[in-house]
Amino acid sequence: MKEIMLMLPDEKEKKAIKTLVRELSPDATIYMPLNEARAYNIALRSSVDVFVLDIDFRARGRGELQAGAMLAQKLRSVEKYYFTPIIYLMDEYDERVNLLNLIQCHGIFKRPYDMDAVRDALRSALEYHTKDSMERKVILQTEGMMEVVAVEDIIWADVSQRKLFISTVDGDFMLPNKSCKELLQELNSEYFVRCRRGTIVNMKYIKKVESSKCRIHLKKGKGVLEIGSAVKKDFLRKVKRRYSNIVVK
């Protein structure tokens, strides 16, 4: 599943670009921060695959500095974002284009732009994937055999009667004598969080969280998980920090 960030000041334009993203990648997670600081914090915590920025998105209280350009410069100093596609939308071409070339933008479009051209840029950019720990694979020792599974394909894991049950996009596995704590250490990914004492879930597969009913609805019809009272506060904090739009009361 892709992660896209839109930092655009105009709500109508933001809605239009969001619609394009949904057409091209229906399951994508879309971040829409209101300022450069928030955008940078989200980028550090997540693994954004495509950025769509407005160079004229100005940072409050910073005179003539453009928050969009400042954000791009910061991103290029982070190793995982050295080559991540950046698509820029702007009102006028000027000397700023040279700056955009230096920070390796994936696309530059002068308003009013051709929406089909933006769609093509988004399509090609979405083919890129930011590398992170989710791309690793783990070896799961089941009864009588070993299974090699991609970390990003694991949806949830639950301990019951000293057995660890793991649900993935390709099927389910059972591991004897293994705890969620041990699995979390092996996965080594911030996308996995505890929703109950003996249950962990991959946040990338969460469709909606009903906090009042303590329920987690998963994407792609993968069912519903419960949130335990002992870990509810910490679970909601971690989910809101990364995917604030999926939590409801």
**At residue 2, what is the residue type?**
K
pLDDT for the residue 135: 64
| Structure tokens belonging to residue 30 | 């879309």
Phi-psi region of 65 (alpha: psi -120 to 50; beta: other; left: phi over 0): beta
SS3 state of residue 32: coil
> What is the C-alpha to C-alpha distance for residues 195 and 210, in angstroms, rounded to an integer?
12
The tens digit of pLDDT for each residue in 226-248 reads: 999 999 999 998 888 777 778 77
CA dihedral 120, 122, 124, 129 (to 10 degrees): -170
pLDDT for the residue 73: 85
> What is the C-alpha to C-alpha distance for residues 163 and 158, in angstroms, rounded to an integer?
8
pLDDT for the residue 63: 41
pLDDT for the residue 60: 41
SS3 state of residue 82: coil
The tens digit of pLDDT for each residue in 26-54 reads: 888 899 998 888 999 999 888 899 999 98
Residue with tokens 């350009």: 69
156-165 LR contacts (CB < 8 Å, sep 24+): 156/199, 156/200, 156/201, 156/202, 156/205, 156/218, 156/222, 156/225, 157/183, 157/199, 157/200, 158/196, 158/198, 158/199, 158/200, 159/198, 159/199, 160/198
pLDDT for the residue 186: 85
Segments of the chain scoring below 70 in pLDDT: 56-66, 93-104, 128-135
pLDDT for the residue 240: 84
Contact 164, 184 (CB under 8 A): no
